[in-house]
Amino acid sequence: MGRGKIEIKKIENNTSRQVTFSKRRAGLLKKTHELSVLCDAQIGLIIFSNKGKLYEYCSHPLSMGQIIERYQSLTGTCIPVRDEREQIYNDLAKMKRDTHCLQLSLQRYKGDDLSSVQYEELNELEQQLEQSINKVRARKFLLLQQQLDNLERTEKMLEKENQDMHHWLMSNHIQKQQAEMEHHQQQAMTELKLVGQQQQQVLDQFPFYGEEQPSSVLQLANLPLNLYPYRLQPIQPNLQESSVQRRDYG
């Protein structure tokens, strides 16, 4: 199936028109280069886009100016040369007048040299200055309000950070106190165990018969002194010597 024929008219869609221009421009430049190389032809091609952008092609080694001069000499046409000095003079005079008006306006805005200004001009100048002052004040208030909003946001952020830091410190303090209490309890339990072991060692050194054995050193200290009298055994050496001496004297 062959390709359909495209109707030759302006493309209304900007994107489609730009795409078509780019494709066909590239194809036209390619065909121009092929024609110049294959046929040894001298070709000068100038293309302006709808936005005023220039695209050109010129056969090597000639330049576009040489091809245009050759075209003028062969066709007998010439490009008219415009005398732009008058236009430049008019533009310069206009710029001078605009500059002078701007300088006068600046002086009036500053309040300098108002002696030649009429009442209507002064009234208009006053209104313009008031409008300018209102715009400046509005812009100033807007900036101040923005700064105030930024400060309020910063204050809220700092308050939140302060609260978070306070909660964090309090939680760490509570955890530290709990750890210290647990450590003290462990130390107290260890000391109680050591004291109990020492009490048991003391109780083991005192054998008790017939009565209930005391369970602590405090109970041992509260016992009466004559509850468990000690009996001296004659087998001890010092007691044997004293008994022998008594017999001799007797």
Angstrom distance (rounded) from CA 228 to CA 207: 10
The tens digit of pLDDT for each residue in 96-132 reads 999 988 887 777 777 777 777 778 888 888 888 888 8
The tens digit of pLDDT for each residue in 18-55 reads 999 999 999 999 999 999 999 989 999 999 998 889 99
Which class for 158: exposed (0-12), middle (13-18), buried (19 or more C-beta within 10 A)? exposed
Q: How confident is residue 230, by pLDDT bands cut at 50, 70 and 90?
A: very low
